[in-house]
Chain A
């Protein structure tokens, strides 16, 4: 789905990413690479295919949209280097020309040398690329920039007739900020409700994105 935001054309992909065509930039959030391995290590039986499928989806996106920069608005890695992160390192080698930029999130605890080894450009607070500011958590103060963030794993509840309720991950666009859905399939949802007039929600249903 194509939308306009602060005069920029953005493509919302149902693979939970934003493509910013002018900058050839793919924006994702909350990859939580290593989460499934961390769970397995702690004795919780998460199928290992979960982490792999996230990387496959990322590859698919890079194939669909000509991308120079992959920007991650936080929580790229979950906890520490483990087998999932190793799988990511393998994956990374396939894209030597891709610039990977990370705005650190609360789960990003890797060592600096790990990021260097993975060829990831790390920013602790924010990345500014007018008219946008990319941050992990939605800032409380407002200024001239439009904030694009992640962190909360937004979702919406759609109410059908006959008291049906379905939950979907979603993109949120407000007057001063947008929130990306969590990219990883192994993440939960935090349900959002519209608060302001101009709040827009784009629900990600299995076959397409719909504005609600």
Chain B
């Protein structure tokens, strides 16, 4: 049957008629891609819907399932039970989704219920669900695994028709995506075992990413399933504008807070209905919240702060308040990146570099949500050079130069956790699960010997030859592998998930009332009476009791901001490439970007004291200062690639003559600093630099140059938690068992010394190599440098380009206040040097 004929069949179906009637009555009509998705669904396809936010992507699949149900010939006979599992990456999405779906169901006069299940779901609600599962279950990947860790789960899926992975682009590049893959494989296995005739559909919904086809392959890896990509032909209009200082001198040469432009933000907030202000870290969000309130007291009560460390009840309240339009503005982090419709939000502000095109567009899409409305986003630079980034991101957005998301594969830690999850639940049959796992995209390369290692790891603890084997986590009973110890089961259930956070402690008012969470390491530095900010409040530390931080309201106006240890995100290669191009355009004024006009004086200064690199040039600055001999280089490849490239260069220079360097980097370039002169061939310096950055022998030199063990050790931290070796407990929950305390670093050492063939250890090294080192990207960058012309500048003072790198290297060990003072001093020193220079001439 062709799609068209089928379309006619669809159009004649009672379900379609009913849905159309309901849409019409509420003054809506389906978008082309929605009808297309309904048709494919009716034909039995699985697939991926690619649509911008705000165009009813939810209904493209949700209503397809509804139509299918309503078209069934004997609807009266249908039993209750889950029809649709809707996986969302974020808890905050669930409530809004449920509301929208429930509205539709009520409108259609269907008696289906919509249930939400995630970390915030109350025990009471879960118990209710256990008695009677809702027809539509909105769930996070973690909660799906928690569900599988319960007894008698197989019965839940008797009526299941479809599994949807919403915001699939968010999940695919992470271990949470792998969790979704595994959960889908198991549920599919359960459904097909009980109902071999069932046509279980698997659909994803995704924003545009560079690798759409692969994203479909990861979600639906099965060869015997019909699958397709449905692309929306609607375009979301986005208006991007930079918040510019009156004068370039207003912007610091380096920095990451951007507070100096706070004044400029106020008119934007007042000119809009509701504004979301995105920052890159929680610490930055706290500071911005404080600053905005200090600038304008009228904002009190109309400004809120939202991030992952804030109590979820407070977050819920804020989200509701955004919906109802009470709030004028919300300072937030990636905690509000995703989600459905906040209708009143008409403006978004991004503070500092978003580091990638996709992320920026995602955030922009949070405003002007309804179809054909324009999304409005302002970019607020935190330091001068970010103006160029603003211009670059506009360009990349215009040309839809959007990054790919690499799927995570062969994560043994997630597989180990999954198998124990199944063992905690109903138990599993090893052959059955091996074949299911092997069909997933993440583990299609899994070897039988790796599988047996993993089985041994969870059943005998890895040693099968010891005289005493007290290890008995997963045991065989009635032909199924099960966890029999209640304690192990309880601990495992509490531990399901792949997001590993630092040890967090709850913060509570001494008079009662929960504020949020902070890192334990931050609190351990607190003394009684010192103040800090959290959830936008200034709090005075009183004491720690039972792992809860007790505080009272502080009389101080300002205080320390906890620096939550978020990984610093690196610039993507897409954005890096556009950035290099923009450097070209700035100096030659071949552009229409106001940002680039603004920054021109700084570029002229850079040109005067050094050089502005064109996109076919590779700039190296050799600077001699009191601190020593600096080499700055600017590949514009993001800090992660720079870290490796700098180590590589340091190693290769060290082969000429033993020399020690300290290394610093940012997204634009890197620095090597030594107390001794850097041994470069003075006559043939350009050729020499190229030789030193040659892509030949890259792999070997990387291994020799970086401390791979240290990188793997860092990666192992998460792996150990996910695989259940280190019990972190839930944030803020006290771990009572003192005898079981240990750390990932300890396990890393122990495995390195006593169990070299441990697959988790191998995974740590693999993750370090492919995720941290990004060898392919590094090689491409080195090839590009070979094809560029090298420009070398020798000078004795810091240049505008090198300045942020220099400052970034200081940031690690200093509080932001100390840092800003230090920056001010360094800037004035550079200025003085320039002035002196002028006088001498």
Q: Closest residue to A187 on the B side, CB-wise?
A: B746
Nearest A residue to B664, CB-CB: A163
The answer to whether B746 touches A82, judged by C-beta atoms less than 8 angstroms apart, is no
| B457, CB-defined interface residue at 8 Å | yes
Is A86 positioned at the interface, with any CB of B under 8 Å from its CB?
A: yes
Are A53 and B754 touching (Cβ within 8 A)? yes
Binary contact readout A36-62 vs B (1 if CB under 8 angstroms, 0 otherwise): 011111111111111001000000000
Query: B84-92, B180-188, B460-468: which one contacts chain A?
Result: B460-468
Closest CB-CB distance, B736 to chain A, in whole Å? 13
A65 at the interface (CB under 8 A from B): no
Chain A count of residues within 8 A CB distance of the other chain: 30
Task: Say whether, besides A45-B457, A45-B462, A185-B750, A163 and B725 are in contact (CB < 8 Å).
Answer: no
Residues of A within 8 A of B751 (CB): 47
B448-497 CB contacts (< 8 Å) to partner A: 457, 461-463, 466-473, 485, 487-488, 491
Q: Name the CB-closest residue of B to A34.
A: B739
**Residue numbers in B under 8 Å from A46 (CB-CB):** 461, 747, 750
Query: Is the pair A83, B739 in contact by a Cβ cutoff of 8 Å?
Result: no
A-B pairs, 4 with minimum CB distance? A83-B468, A43-B473, A47-B754, A162-B662
A43 to chain B, nearest CB (A): 4
List A contacts of B488 (CB < 8 A). 42-43
Q: B739 near A78 (CB under 8 angstroms)? A: yes
Chain B nearest Cβ from A180, distance in angstroms: 18
Q: Which of A47, A86, A186 has the most CB of B within 10 A?
A: A47
- Beyond A45-B462, A187-B746, is A37–B754 a contact (Cβ under 8 Å)? no
Q: Are A188's CB and B745's CB within 8 A?
A: yes
A113–B466 alpha-carbon span in the complex (Å): 27
Q: Quick check: is B798 within 8 A (CB to CB) of the other chain?
A: no
Q: Taking A40-B470, A163-B663 as given, write out 5 further A-B residue pairs in contact, using a Cβ cutoff of 8 Å, ordered by the A residue number.
A: A40-B461, A42-B488, A45-B462, A47-B754, A162-B661
Residues from 754 to 794 in B contacting A, C-beta threshold 8 Å: 754-755
Of the candidates B469, B473, B754, the one whose C-beta lies within 8 Å of that of A49 is B754
Q: Tell me the B633-673 residues at the A interface (CB within 8 Å).
A: 650, 660-663
Give bound CA distance, A143 to B365, whole Å.
Answer: 70
Task: Flag if B463 contacts A48 (CB, 8 Å).
Answer: yes
Determine whether the beta carbon of B470 is less than 8 Å from that of A47.
Answer: no
- B724:A162 contact, CB within 8 angstroms: no
Instruction: Determine the distance from Cα of A188 to Cα of B750 in the docked complex, in whole angstroms.
Output: 11
The proximity string for B residues 323-362 relative to A, scoring 1 for CB distances below 8 Å and 0 otherwise, is: 0000000000000000000000000000000000000000
Take A41-B471, A47-B462, A49-B754 as given contacts and tell me if A186 and B740 are in contact as well, using a CB distance cutoff of 8 Å: no
Q: Does B743 contact A (CB under 8 A)?
A: yes
Q: Which of B485, B675, B738, B750 contacts A186 (CB 8 A)?
A: B750
A44 touches B740 (CB 8 A): yes
Is A185 a contact of B753 with CB atoms below 8 Å? yes
Q: Which A residues are CB-close (under 8 A) to B471?
A: 40-41, 43, 45
Q: Which residues of A contact B755 (CB under 8 A)?
A: 47, 49
Report the interface size for chain B: residues with CB under 8 A from the other chain.
39
Inter-chain contacts of A162 with B (CB < 8 A): 650, 660-663
Q: A45-B461, A50-B754 are in contact. Are A39 and B742 (CB under 8 A)?
A: yes
With both chains docked as a complex, state the minimum distance between the C-beta of B458 and any C-beta of chain A, in angstroms: 8
CA distance A48 to B840 in the complex (A): 73
Minimum C-beta distance from A204 to chain B (A) = 14
Q: Across the interface, name the chain A residue whose C-beta is closest to B813.
A: A163
Kindly state whether residue A107 has any CB partner on chain B within 8 Å.
Answer: yes
A82 x B743 contact (CB < 8 A): no
Q: Which residue of A lies closest to B760 (CB)?
A: A45
A2 to B599, CA, bound (A): 64
Bound together, the chains give a CA A117 to CA B746 distance in angstroms of 32
**Cβ-defined contact, A37 with B740, below 8 A:** no
In the bound assembly, the distance between CA atoms of A117 and B503 in angstroms comes to 41
Q: Which residue of A lies closest to B663 (CB)?
A: A162
Show 21 residue pairs from A and B whose CB-CB distance is below 8 angstroms, ordered by the A residue: A37-B470, A39-B742, A40-B470, A41-B470, A41-B472, A43-B472, A43-B488, A44-B725, A47-B462, A48-B463, A49-B754, A50-B754, A82-B470, A83-B468, A106-B738, A161-B661, A161-B675, A163-B662, A186-B742, A186-B750, A188-B746
Distance, CA A189 to CA B751, complexed state (A): 17
From residue A85, how far is it (CB to closest CB) to chain B in Å? 11
A79 to B491 CA separation, bound complex (whole angstroms): 19
Task: Give Cα distance in the complex from A193 to B750, angstroms.
Answer: 26
CA distance A86 to B470 in the complex (A): 12
- Report A17-48 CB contacts with B as 1/0, cut-off 8 Å: 00000000000000000010111111111111
Contacts of B749 in A (CB 8 A): 185
The CA of A14 and the CA of B738, in the complex, are separated in Å by 28
Question: Chain B: which residue is nearest A166 at the CB level?
Answer: B710
**What residues on A are CB-neighbors of B461 within 8 Å?**
40, 43, 45-46
Could you mark each residue 423-464 of chain B with 1 if its beta carbon is under 8 Å from any beta carbon of chain A, else 0? Answer: 000000000000000000000000000000000010001110
Residue numbers in A under 8 Å from B487 (CB-CB): 42
| Chain A residues positioned under 8 Å from B724 (CB to CB) | 43-44
A50 CB contacts on chain B under 8 angstroms: 750, 754
Listed residue (B467, B491, B742, B751) with the most chain A CB atoms within 10 angstroms of its CB: B742
A54 CB → nearest B CB, Å: 11
- Chain B residue nearest to A78 in the complex (CB): B739
Given contacts A40-B471, A49-B754, is CB(A186)–CB(B746) below 8 Å? Answer: yes
Which residues between 161 and 203 of chain A lie within 8 Å of chain B, taking CB atoms?
Answer: 161-163, 185-188
Residues of A within 8 A of B660 (CB): 161-162
Residue numbers in A under 8 Å from B661 (CB-CB) = 161-162
Point out the residues of chain A lying under 8 angstroms from B466, CB to CB: 48
Name A86's contact: one of B462, B468, B469, B738 (CB within 8 Å): B468
Bound complex: CA A43 to CA B632 (Å): 50
- Which chain B residues border A38 with CB–CB below 8 Å? 739-740
In the bound complex, residues from chain B placing their C-beta under 8 Å from that of A44 are 724-725, 740, 742
Q: CB-CB < 8 A to A163: which residues of B?
A: 662-663
Task: Give Cα A24–Cα B754 distance, bound, in whole angstroms.
Answer: 32
Chain A residue at minimal CB-CB distance from B483: A43
Instruction: Knowing A45-B725, A46-B750 are in contact, say whether A107-B739 is a contact too (CB < 8 A).
Output: yes
Q: How far is the CB of A37 from chain B (nearest CB, A)?
A: 6
Q: Chain B residues near A41 (CB, 8 Å)?
A: 470-472
Residue from B663, B743, B747, B750 with most neighbouring chain A CB atoms (10 Å): B750
Question: Bound complex: CA of A48 vs CA of B470, how far in Å?
Answer: 10
Give the chain B neighbours of A48 by CB distance below 8 A: 463, 466, 468
A40 to chain B, nearest CB (A): 4
